[in-house]
Amino acid sequence: MMTLKKSSFAEHLRDIRNHSFEFYAVVESIRALFMEICPACTEEIRYGGIVGKGKFRRHIKLHETGDIEAKHIKGFIEQSCR
C-alpha cells in the first residue's frame, strides 16, 4: 500500500509553479482576489487543490488569467464570502 506524504501549502504552490508558470499566475491572481474580497478567509488543500468553502462552490475551469474576468470569478468569490 502506498502512502502519500502530506504537502504543505507552500510546497503545493511551488509544485504548481514548477509544473506550469501560466497556471501558477492564475492561482496567484485568484488568491489575491480572495484576500481583497475576504481578508479573513483561510486557505487549505482539499480534493487535490486549493479550494474555498460553501454551498455556492462551483467547478470552473480556468486556463489563463484572462479567464478570471471572462468567467466572472470575482462575483463567485463575493458570493462565497457572504
pLDDT tens string 51-71? 555 555 567 888 999 999 999
Evaluate whether residue 4 is within a structural domain. Answer: no
Global pTM exceeds 0.85: no
pLDDT at 58: 61
pLDDT at 29: 95
Evaluate whether residue 2 is within a structural domain. Answer: no
**Average pLDDT of the residues of the chain:** 80
pLDDT at 1: 41
Range of the domain at 51: 9-80
Q: Is the pLDDT of residue 33 over 70?
A: yes
Phi-psi region of 45 (alpha: psi -120 to 50; beta: other; left: phi over 0): beta
Contacts of 11 (CB under 8 A, 6+ apart): none
**Total domain count for the chain?**
1
